Amino acid sequence: MKELNIMEATVLTSPNPLTLICSKKEDGSTNLAPICFVSYLSFNPPMVGFATGKQSHTGKQVRETGKVIVTVPGESIAQVVMACGASTGAKTDKVVANNIEMMAVEGSDIQIPVDTRLAMVATLQQSVEVGDHILHICQVDKFLGDEDKKGLYAWNGFGKVAPAAEG
């Protein structure tokens, strides 16, 4: 074995489920951020955690509103999901810029992409500084899923985005 850096290690743990963090912006629109630093944390109550960079607009919005929808996007939007990671939601309406068809979720004022395999409607419980990121610990209020859709994964240390069957 040889010593690796964290980016090299991500290649060895690939594929990683790719999520699209959906949060509400100040103007009421939805911000989208692709993130792989996500994990289930508890069965009872159901909890999920995700980490964003300390300066992340998405993290700031989630901490201010206390609400988020963690989604697993479908394969038809693979290219636009990666494009969402190339700009900040503070300056760009990523939904409009990438022409993403959105839909409402009952019980939430945050929209999600129509092509979504899994949506976890959640409430922020705690934020914890972890190195150069902030971990957002959320209780899942509702799970919504569509088994017929293929979810996306990040392959080769985030070098490729594709469903598991195609990696």
pLDDT digits (tens, 9 = 90+) for 139-156: 999 999 999 999 988 887
Q: Which residue has the tokens 């409430």?
A: 123
pLDDT number for residue 140: 97
pLDDT (tens digit, 9 = 90+) per residue, 43-84? Answer: 999 999 999 999 999 999 999 999 999 999 999 998 888 877
Predicted TM-score (pTM) of the model is 0.91
CA-nearest of 77, 65, 94 to 18 is 77
